[in-house]
Structure 1
Amino acid sequence: MKIKLLIADDDPLIRESLKIILGMDEEFSVEACVSNGQEAVRFCRENPVDVALIDVQMPVMDGVQATGEITTSTNVRVLILTTFDHDDYIMDALNNGAKGYLLKNNTPDKIKEAIKVVYSGNSVMQDAVLEKMKQEIRNQKESKPDLSDFTEREIDIIKAVAEGLSNKEIAKKLFISEGTVKNYITSILDKTGLEHRTQIAIYYLKGGKV
């Protein structure tokens, strides 16, 4: 079964390039290309879409707002694909439910892999973006989060997620199964009221704040 995609970008060249590149891969089906966030929200609400590739800066409705609308009213998973790595964009997009944040200068294979990661229910963030977010938070000199409500193993998981490790990498590092890692992450999400693992990283790095 092909992964159904929506591409939202105000640059027609980018839209068509992505459509051609992804459309040539038998794993994907580009259902539509739109030029602003409002069109993206409308299409996702009215049509079957698995993953929406959303740019940040678009007319009518920007990608950050569109992400919030899409994730709260549909089951579509959002992958931010943009040229902007500004901290506010990153934080706002992730807090609005984006499952990933990737820059457009990545190779087609990297973008395809990110789509599949997001489609599978996991989160993905470019290393450079994660490092930028970490550095900005360090500069803000936020206090460390209160982790008293978590078990020692849950704290290990939180720190590993904040390092940007995947479930597989966490399992290997802590000598536990991937299923156990998923169970711990579910418990952490329940305790914090967060929605996905990327927000766990933000929670830890910002001193228990999102």
Structure 2
Amino acid sequence: MTIKIIIADDNSFIREGLKIILSTYEEFDVLKLVENGRQAVDYCMQHPVDIALLDVRMPILNGVEATKLLTENTNTKSVILTTFDDDAYILGAIKNGAMGYLLKNNDPERIRDAIKSVYHGTSIIQDVMLDKIKSNLTEPLLQEESKVDTSQFTERELEIMSYVAKGYSNKEISQQMYLSGGTVANYITSILNKTGLKHRTQIAVYYLTGKVYE
């Protein structure tokens, strides 16, 4: 069974080059080349696509925005493939559900392996990018941003609240903290009980402002 792929990049040379490279692998079927995120989303809404390779900076709809729409409305998994290793793009892509984030200067075999890994459910972020954003995900920095009374929460609860405030899903939190999805859900339930809050959005607002909003 082949992995169905589309490529979205506003540079025609990159689009065509990626198609040539990926088409040499028998496990891939490149269905469509598009030049912006809007076209990528529209195509995936109408056709079954396994993987969308998305450039970050595209007109009309960029790769981060397209990832959000694909995650919410399709079964297509997004892989950000770019020349830019900007922290904000990385975090935005992860927040919106991207399963992979790679630089275009990778050799074909690495891109091939990454696509196959994402297809089988494994998230891929290159070490160089992960190292670049680690400082933004460490607890001390996140707690400096927090306005909550930390005395009533455990260290784990505060860390989970910080991820919720960044827009992470339970699955993403479990991956970051190496916990099961059930354990993360239990921690969130504990946080809700301690604060009297009702849902995740309120947790995020409370963590960042120290105030409870209905």
> Unaligned stretches of 5+ in structure 2?
145-153, 160-171, 189-206, 209-214
Q: Deviations over 1:154-179 (max 9, x none)?
A: xxxx999549xxxxxxxxxxxxxxxx
State how many pairs are aligned.
169
Aligned CA distance change for structure 1 residues 188 and 30 (closer, same or farther; 3 Å): farther
Q: Deviations over 1:98-125 (max 9, x none)?
A: 0111111111000000001110011010
Counterpart of 1:146? 155
Q: How many angstroms apart in 2 are the aligned matches of 1:107 and 1:142? A: 35
Q: Please, what TM-score do these two structures have when normalized by structure 2?
A: 0.70
Counterpart of 1:171? none
Aligned CA distance change for structure 1 residues 79 and 139 (closer, same or farther; 3 Å): same
Counterparts in 2 of 1:115-194, with a 5 A limit?
115-137=115-137, 141-143=141-143, 146-148=155-157, 161-162=175-176, 184-188=179-183, 190-191=185-186
CA shift for structure 1 position 40: 0.3
Q: How many angstroms apart in 1 are the aligned matches of 2:98 and 2:183? A: 19
Q: CA RMSD in A?
A: 2.9
Q: How many angstroms apart in 2 are the aligned matches of 1:113 and 1:39? A: 26
Counterparts in 2 of 1:41-80, with a 5 A limit?
41-80=41-80
Counterpart of 1:114? 114
Local SS of the residue matching 1:61:
coil
Aligned CA distance change for structure 1 residues 187 and 149 (closer, same or farther; 3 Å): farther
> Unaligned stretches of 5+ in structure 1?
151-157, 164-180, 194-207
Aligned CA distance change for structure 1 residues 192 and 84 (closer, same or farther; 3 Å): farther
Q: How many angstroms apart in 2 are the aligned matches of 1:138 and 1:12? A: 39
Counterpart of 1:17? 17
